[in-house]
Amino acid sequence: MNSDWKEKALELAKQGVSGRQIAKIVGKSKSRVNEYLAYLRSTGEYKPIEAFSNGVGVLVSPDGKKAGSGFSDAFGKPRVLVIDIETRQMLLGGFGLFNQNFSLDQIEEDWSIISVSYKWLGEDEVFYEDVTTQTEDDILGKLHALFNEAHFLLAHNGRRFDLKKIRARMIARGFPPHSPVRVIDTLQISKKEFGFTSNKLQYLTNLLCKRNVKSSHAKFSGYLLWREFLKGNQEAISEMREYNIIDVLSLEELYFVMAPWSSTLPNFDVYTDDLVDMGDWVEDGFAYSNLGKYKQYRNVKTGQYRRGRQNLLDKEKRKQLLANIVG
């Protein structure tokens, strides 16, 4: 069993996961993990990944530390909470397996939140909470405080699942409303901008990410992981922790890859009072609407396009333009 965490640490290190994040996943101290990886480097068994940039992603130095993200730098610094939750399955009493419809009085145990992993976009530390060490109310209380701090939640299927599920449990447990928070949903970006074979997080991260890909269950497949976790199986508890944390890391990387392609992301520049540094933006032609012509700009770090707000058409030209009649 002592070698299990070492094998997992090496596997994660080869994906580019930092020593601090590995320590959280395998349940060891950061110093112990770093000492082990240093030993592997000395023997030649492990070579840190080289720095990479796909033009829109996070730059990583050979030691695995983040060297900076042109995308986040270009957009200012709102508080973006990257989040993923796992929920308890419902227990239902029935009389068959095929094509069953259950009534409310057949609910023997309702669903609830059993774990959550989260981090602040662009920061290193990843957090994890589950009901094996605290109550669901404790977890909800932490999430309530985080929502009051965040400007945005970043989640895959966050609009329809994560946010609504969390809010459902908050109101059911008597929490007051949290501060309004907007959702950035990588599932919606994927559906709107691309035509992938699948929009599932595992497929997208395997296809697009270089450092972190969504974890598949190692020992406990599908429903079995949830069942064994709730039974208190320590191996399942550890696997749920790893599964949840890797989801958040892979989600963050997927966001950095996809974001420059999105035409609907919020403008992060409004979240800073400083003047916008236009050093990364170059003029690149013009953008047109039905009633206007605008300068078009391209970000040299991320490849993203934006347009200016000043209509370049003169007043007489604008007077001549006819607008569509909206029925």
Separation between Cα atoms, residue 49 and residue 32, nearest integer Å: 20
Q: Max alpha carbon distance in the chain (Å)? A: 78
Query: Considering only CA atoms, which of 247, 77, 259 is closest in space to residue 186?
Result: 259
Choice between 278 and 31, residue whose per-residue pLDDT is larger: 278
158's tokens? 């966050």
pLDDT score recorded for residue 69: 36
Beta bridge partners of 327: none
Across the beta sheet with 182-185, the strand order is 127-130, 113-120, 80-87, 152-155, 182-185
Separation between Cα atoms, residue 179 and residue 308, nearest integer Å: 31
The answer for residues whose C-beta is within 8 angstroms of residue 120's C-beta and 6 or more apart is 79, 80, 81, 82
Choice between 28 and 65, residue whose per-residue pLDDT is larger: 28
pTM: 0.77
**Mean pLDDT, rounded, for 83-94:** 94
Each residue's pLDDT tens digit, 197-234:
999 999 999 999 988 777 665 788 888 999 999 999 99
Nearest 10 degrees: Cα torsion 295, 299, 254, 166: -60
pLDDT score recorded for residue 276: 79
pLDDT score recorded for residue 22: 85
Give the chain's mean pLDDT. 85
279's tokens? 């050093």
**Mean pLDDT, rounded, for 252-272:** 91
**Residue 262: how many CB atoms within 10 A of its CB?**
17
User: Which span out of 17-26, 55-64, 70-79, 174-183 was modeled with the highest average pLDDT?
Assistant: 174-183
**Mean pLDDT, rounded, for 24-53:** 71
For the stretch 25-58, what's the b/e string if a residue is b when 16 or more beta carbons lie within 10 angstroms of its beta carbon? Answer: bbebeeeebbebbeebeeeeebebbeeeeeebbb
The identity of residue 293, as a single letter, is: K
Choice between 23 and 225, residue whose per-residue pLDDT is larger: 225
Separation between Cα atoms, residue 201 and residue 252, nearest integer Å: 11
